[in-house]
Chains A and B, each alone.
Chain A
Amino acid sequence: MTIINFKLNNDLIEYEIKDHWTLLHLLREEMGLIGTKEGCGNGECGACTVIVDKLAINSCLYLAIDADKKTIETIEGLASTDGKLHPLQQSFVDNGGIQCGFCSPGMIMSSKALLDGNPDATREEIKHALAGNICRCTGYLQIFESVEAAKHTGGAK
Chain B
Amino acid sequence: MSEYNVVGKRIPKIDAAQKAMGRAEYIQDVKLPGMLYGKILYSKHAHARITRMDLSKALALSGVYTILTGEDVPEKMRMGFYKDNPPLKKDKVFSFRDEVAAVAAKTPEIAKKALELIEIDYEVLPGIFDPEKAMEKDSPLVHENTKSNVLKLPWKLHYGDVDKAEKEAAFVVEGRFTTTWVTHCCMGTSGAVASFDAADNLTIYTNTQIPSLAQKDFLEALKAMGLKNKRARVIKPIIGGGFGSKLDTYAYEHIAILLAHKCRKPVKIVFDRPEEFIATSTRQPTVTHIKQGCDKNGKLLFRDIRMVLDNGAHTSWGATTPSVMMMPITSLYRVDNVRYDAKCVYTNNTYSQAMRGYGNPQATFAIESNIDMLAEKAGIDPIEFRRINRNHPGDVTPQNFKITTCGLDLCLDAVEKELRKSGTKEKGVGIGVASLIHVGGGARIYKSDGCGVIIKMDDYGKASVFTGGTDMGQGLDNITAQIVAEELGLLVEDVHVVHTDTDVCPWDVGAHASRSTFVAGNAALGAAKKIKAQLLELGSKELKTTPDSLMLKDRLIFVPGDPEKSMAIDKLLRKIHFSPGGTMLVSDHFFDPINENMGPDYKGNMSMTYTFGVHGVKVRVDEETGKVEVLEYVAAHDVGQAINPLLLEGQVYGGVVMGLGYALSEEVMHVNGKNMNPNFRDYKLFTAKDAVKIIAPVIQTPDKDGPFGAKGIGEPGCVPTAPAIANAIYDAVGVRITTLPITPEKVLAALMEKKKNH
CA distance A104 to B18 in the complex (A): 10
Check: A133 CB closer than 8 A to any chain B CB: yes
Tell me if B28 is interfacial: C-beta within 8 Å of chain A: yes
Knowing A44-B681, A96-B12, A137-B241, say if A76 contacts B188 (CB, 8 Å). no
| Contact call A85/B21, Cβ cutoff below 8 A | yes
Contact in complex: B22, A137 (CB < 8 Å): no
Measured CB to CB, the closest approach of chain A to B719, in angstroms, equals: 15
Q: Which residues of A contact B691 (CB under 8 A)?
A: 127, 139-141, 144
B19 A139 Cβ-Cβ under 8 A = no
Q: Point out the residue from A40, A90, A96, A102 that lies within 8 Å of B679, measured CB to CB.
A: A40
Q: A34-B29, A141-B691, A142-B649 known; A99 and B13 CB under 8 Å?
A: yes
Name the A residues within 8 Å of B687 (CB-CB): 131-132, 134
Residues of chain A from 10 to 66 with CB closer than 8 A to chain B in the complex: 33-42, 44-45, 47
* Contact indicator A45/B680 (Cβ below 8 Å): yes
Contact: B13 with A93, CB < 8 Å?
Answer: yes
CB distance from B384 to the nearest CB of A (A): 30
Q: How far is the CB of A84 from chain B (nearest CB, A)?
A: 10
Beta-carbon nearest neighbor of A94 in chain B: B12
Could you say which of A38, A42, A143 contacts B28, with CB atoms under 8 Å apart?
A38
Q: A92 near B16 (CB under 8 angstroms)?
A: yes
Instruction: Check A98 for interface membership: any CB of B closer than 8 A.
Output: yes
**Chain B 688-700 per-residue mask, 1 if CB under 8 angstroms from chain A, else 0:** 1101011000000
Taking a contact as CB atoms closer than 8 A, the residue among A78, A103, A132 that contacts B21 in the complex is A78
Chain B positions 278-332 with a Cβ under 8 Å from a chain A Cβ: none
In the complex the two chains form, what is the Cα distance from A79 to B21 in whole Å? 7
Q: Mark A78-117, 1 if CB is under 8 A from B, else 0.
A: 1100000100011011111011111111001000000000
User: What B residues does A133 contact at CB under 8 A?
Assistant: 688
A35-B22, A139-B656 are known contacts. Are A102 and B188 too (CB-CB below 8 A)?
yes
Which of B12, B472, B689 interacts with A100 by CB under 8 Å? Answer: B472
Q: Is the CB of A138 within 8 A of B20?
A: no
Whether B473 and A101, one on each chain, are in contact in the complex, defined by CB atoms closer than 8 angstroms, is yes
List residues of chain A with CB within 8 A of the CB of B604.
none
Task: Report the separation of the CA atoms of residues A42 and B239 in the bound assembly, to the nearest whole angstrom.
Answer: 22
Is B243 in the interface zone, CB < 8 Å from A? Answer: yes
**Contact string against A for B residues 666-691, beta-carbon threshold 8 Å, 1 for contact and 0 otherwise:** 00000000000001110001111101
> Which residues of chain B from 87 to 106 have a CB within 8 Å of any chain A CB?
none
Interface residues of B in 22-72 (CB under 8 A from A): 22-26, 28-29
Pair A134/B22 contact, Cβ less than 8 Å: no
> How many chain A residues touch the partner (CB < 8 A)?
53
Closest approach, in angstroms, between the C-beta of A61 and any C-beta of chain B? 13
Q: Does B78 interact with chain A (Cβ within 8 Å)? A: no
- Give the segment of B170-178, B179-187, B403-411, B419-427 that binds chain A: B179-187
Q: Which residues of chain B are within 8 angstroms of A100 by Cβ–Cβ distance?
A: 186-188, 238-242, 472-473
User: Taking CB as reference atom, which chain B residue is nearest A35?
Assistant: B22
Q: Does residue A72 face the partner (Cβ distance < 8 Å to B)?
A: no
Kindly state whether residue A75 has any CB partner on chain B within 8 Å. yes
Measured CA separation A93–B187 after assembly (Å): 18
Is A156 an interface residue, CB under 8 A from the partner? Answer: no
**Most chain-A Cβ atoms within 10 A of its Cβ — which of B12, B19, B239, B656?**
B19
**How far is it, in angstroms, between the C-alpha of A78 and the C-alpha of B13 when the chains are bound?**
19
CB contact under 8 A between A36 and B694, given known A93-B16, A93-B17, A100-B240: no
Flag whether B273 is at the interface (Cβ < 8 A). Answer: yes
Give the contacting residue for B238; candidates A44, A78, A101, A105; CB below 8 A: A101
Whole-angstrom CA separation of A1 from B129 in the bound complex: 50
Q: Is B650 on the interface with A (CB-CB < 8 A)? A: yes
A134, B25: Cβ atoms closer than 8 Å: no
B interface residues, tally (CB under 8 Å) = 54
**CA–CA, A131 to B686, complex, Å?**
10
Q: B350 in the interface, Cβ–Cβ < 8 Å?
A: no
Q: Are A99 and B22 in contact (CB under 8 A)?
A: no
B475 within 8 Å of A (CB atoms): yes
The residue in chain A whose Cβ has the minimal distance to the Cβ of B471 is A100
Q: Give the chain A neighbours of B21 by CB distance below 8 A.
A: 35, 75-76, 78-79, 85, 89
Task: Check A74 against B22 for contact (C-beta < 8 Å).
Answer: yes
Q: Are A136 and B185 in contact (CB under 8 A)?
A: yes
- Are A102 and B26 in touch, CB under 8 angstroms? yes
Min CB distance B113 to A, Å, is 14
- A134: chain B residues within 8 A (beta carbon): 185, 187, 680, 685, 687
Decide yes or no whether B371 CB sits under 8 A from chain A: no
Q: Is B646's beta carbon under 8 Å from chain A?
A: yes
Distance in angstroms from A113 CB to nearest chain B CB is: 14
Q: Check if B240 sits within 8 Å of A101, measured CB to CB.
A: yes
Which residue of chain B has the shortest Cβ distance to A86 in the bound complex? B20
Q: Which residues of B contact A76 (CB under 8 A)?
A: 21-22
Instruction: Give, as a whole number of angstroms, the nearest-CB distance from A130 to chain B.
Output: 4
Which residues of B lie under 8 Å from residue A44 when comparing CB positions?
Answer: 273, 679-681
- Pick the residue among B19, B29, B242, B273 that contacts A40 (CB under 8 A): B273
- Do B12 and A99 touch (CB < 8 A)? no
List the A side residues contacting B185 at CB < 8 Å: 134, 136
Residues of A close to B189: CB separation below 8 A: 39
Q: Is the CB of B273 within 8 A of A136?
A: no
Residues of B whose CB lies within 8 Å of any CB of A are: 12-13, 15-17, 19-26, 28-29, 184-189, 238-243, 272-273, 472-475, 646-647, 649-650, 653-658, 679-681, 685-689, 691, 693-694
Query: 21 A-B Cβ contacts within 8 A?
Result: A34-B22, A34-B29, A42-B679, A42-B680, A44-B680, A93-B17, A98-B20, A99-B473, A100-B187, A101-B240, A102-B26, A102-B187, A108-B20, A127-B688, A131-B689, A132-B687, A133-B688, A134-B185, A137-B474, A140-B657, A142-B646
Given contacts A100-B188, A128-B689, 10 further A-B contacts (CB under 8 A): A40-B680, A42-B273, A93-B12, A93-B16, A99-B473, A102-B26, A102-B187, A131-B689, A139-B650, A141-B653
- 4 nearest interchain CB pairs? A35-B22, A100-B473, A101-B19, A139-B657
